[in-house]
Amino acid sequence: MAIDEFESKFISSRTTTAISPSSRTAQDESLHEVEHIRPVVENDSGASPPFLPVLLAAYVFVKKDSPFGEDGFPDILQKLGELQLGGERKSGYGRMVLESVEKIADNSLLFGEKSCLWWTGADSITCCPGSILPVHLPLADNALELNGQLEPIVRRLWDKTKGAGQQAQREEQSSLYWTPGSMVKCQAGLELTLGPLGIFLKKEPDSSP
């Protein structure tokens, strides 16, 4: 699906402004617009119902030696039940209700991409040439052949004085990352392994004899 087609179908916006108490008109320089994902979209098939809910699919990768255990993390997600993602959360945006959680098997296709596989036993992802990158990947390795966009990853940490999320810290491994959705151009493909802080890294070849 092309970007303009996706935005036309799934993206909407809301425009608001503050009101000046003295004139009861729009306050100068207060007009702003917030883009958001539509909660429902039209059913293009023409069948009933006329509108369908928008669901976000995602993967949570857990290392095999995680203290949660192999089957414990889905239970944690189930207990969370509801999350808020993105910006403008104080205005009610980004509220997500958990629909379902299921464990994927070894050698599973990610997002239906035939050339992108998750290997449970090795905590790794195999991306064949021409496949779509399913995760962020550091730009540190200049030899990587990818076609896509770059963005920084910034963590918000607990600040002892200011409180939760008030201390921003950029990841030390790389200042920029390839974004999910980038296309793998490497002739040999990519082998990615789950690294610290949930960041995937390029898996180096085994040099052991």
Q: What is the percent of the chain where pLDDT is above 70?
A: 84
- Domain of residue 79 covers 1-11+27-103
154 shares a domain with 135: yes
**The pTM is what?**
0.69
Domain-located, residue 119 = yes
41 shares a domain with 127: no
The residue with tokens 């896509």 is 148
Kindly report the number of other CB atoms within 10 A of residue 62's CB atom. 21
More confident residue, 101 or 76: 101
Mean pLDDT of the chain: 80
67 shares a domain with 119: no
96 shares a domain with 4: yes
Distances (CA, A) of 200 to 89, 129, 152, 192: 28, 18, 14, 6
138 shares a domain with 172: yes
| Residue at a domain's end among 75, 103, 131 | 103
**Dihedral sign computed on CA atoms, order 77, 82, 87, 89:** negative
Domain-located, residue 16 = no
Cβ(104)–Cβ(118) below 8 Å:
yes
What type of residue sits at position 2? A
Cα–Cα distance for residue pair 74/98, rounded to 1 Å: 11
More confident residue, 190 or 71: 190
Vertex 84 angle, CA 81 and 87, to 5° = 175
